[in-house]
Amino acid sequence: MNDAPDRVYLDHAATTPMLAEARDVLTEQLGRTGNASSLHASGRAARRTVEESREIIAEHLGARPSEIVFCSGGTEANNLAIKGLVWSQRSADPRRTRVVFSSIEHHALLDPVTWLAAHEGARIDTTPVDRQGRIDLDALRESVDRDPTDVGVVTTMWANNEMGTVQPIDDVVAIAHRHGLPVHSDAVQAAGYLPLDFAGSGLDAMTLTAHKLGGPVGIGALVLRREVEPTPLLHGGGQERDVRSGTVGVALIAAFAKAVEVNAARRRETGERLEALRARLVEGIAARIPDAVVNGDPESGDDHRLPNIAHVTFPGCEGDAMLMLLDAQGVEVSTGSACAAGVPQPSHVLLAMGFDDRAARGSLRLSLGHTSTDADVDRLLEVLPAVHERARAASLVRSR
């Protein structure tokens, strides 16, 4: 159940409530003492918990335990992957300063890339996407083949956080590996909904975070192929393969592992249930708001889109206005725009997909999760017509 049962939470793509099983593990471990780097009995017990958790996570991701590098979350893992790989590639060959990445990446990856360009002389090569939010493989191939000797890393998210569109990771890896280039994927949104197989994918690095899976905030992982050695961002005790120094959070790691384990056991059942809820949601919106447009891939399935995200444009409305009006009715959703310095900006993801500025500002992301119910969908559909009418009226007034 939601922590606030009188409210409807439809923003699971931002974060999802902790699973009861993960919460129980976290609570139990928080009562224990021991630094996993210490040699005494308490330290050895903590180390055992960390390594057993590492094995669980690796097993369910098709990775070796030694390839799981624990970090504070997805943002740190993305920074370590992109900066670390560019720096290590550049140290071996000064020409390798180009980052090839998709135009729809999350800011946790977009911002490290732009930082490298501004402060480290990196060059950015952006791969365009189609109207569904899927990368253009021909454009990627042309970008890489044009001069592979200057590429430091290729990166493409596994599934987009706004549209839910699944990317052709196998093809991306094949294009890059023809030239021996390292490939990273931000799989934060995909984990828990898609069957991730790190070894089978051929990726060199992959980002995860626990709080999207029903685990705690503050822990994630960079899955890093054993042969890959990025330059560390942090220096200290040499923990985590000497790639990510810092005292490891034993309780957080144990709860992370439990969330991965529970998600793996329930993935198919949860996916089918959420796909059915999503279908009710979009069909209900279409019936009540005929000019609403559902964006992204219309096809369901692991190769098309995630089962839990519905992205909808409401012509003639401001998404921010609809969000606040829905919130006043106890329904929590997200817009397709990010806020920079307090000034709403249209989402770079939507602009990259070909949306104009007005359409990009008039969109909502409705994302379901393990606590979502038919009653949640019913409540949204109940209040949506009046919210839509008020938002459209307000937009008309502002446009005069």
Question: Which tens digits make up the pLDDT trace of 39-90?
Answer: 999 999 999 999 999 999 999 999 999 999 999 999 999 999 999 999 999 9
Spatial CB neighbours of 186, under 8 Å, sequence gap ≥ 6: 74, 78, 105, 106, 108, 109, 155, 157, 158, 206, 207
Spatial CB neighbours of 218, under 8 Å, sequence gap ≥ 6: 72, 73, 210, 211, 249, 252
Torsion of CA 15, 20, 25, 29, to 10 degrees: 70
pLDDT in tens, 79-104: 999 999 999 999 999 999 999 999 99
Q: Which CATH entry fits the domain spanning 20-261: 3.30.420.40, 3.40.50.720, 3.40.50.2000, 3.40.640.10?
A: 3.40.640.10
Single-letter amino acid code for the residue at 268: R
pLDDT in tens, 258-311: 999 999 999 999 999 999 999 999 999 999 999 999 999 999 999 999 999 999
Cβ atoms of residues 194 and 165 within 8 Å: no
Q: Is 317 a catalytic residue?
A: no
Q: What global pTM score does this model have?
A: 0.94
Task: Name the catalytic one among 276, 339, 386, 393.
Answer: 339
Cβ atoms of residues 161 and 104 within 8 Å: no
Neighbouring C-alpha atoms within 13 Å toward the C-beta of 269: 6
Neighbouring C-alpha atoms within 13 Å toward the C-beta of 345: 10
- CATH 3.90.1150.10 for domain 8-17+267-399, yes or no, is yes
Cβ atoms of residues 46 and 250 within 8 Å: yes
Please, which residues bridge with residue 331 across strands?
8
Q: Tell me the C-alpha to C-alpha distance, in Å, between residue 96 and each of 88, 114, 150, 208.
A: 9, 16, 4, 26
Residues of the chain with CATH 3.40.640.10: 20-261
Specify the long-range contacts of residues 113-121, CB closer than 8 Å, at least 24 apart.
Answer: 113/82, 115/83, 116/82, 116/83, 116/86, 120/86, 120/87, 121/97
Residue 380, helix vs strand vs coil: helix
Residues of the chain with CATH 3.90.1150.10: 8-17+267-399
Residue 157, helix vs strand vs coil: coil
Q: Both tokens of residue 349?
A: 């993801």
Task: State the pLDDT confidence band at 344, using cuts at 50, 70 and 90.
Answer: low
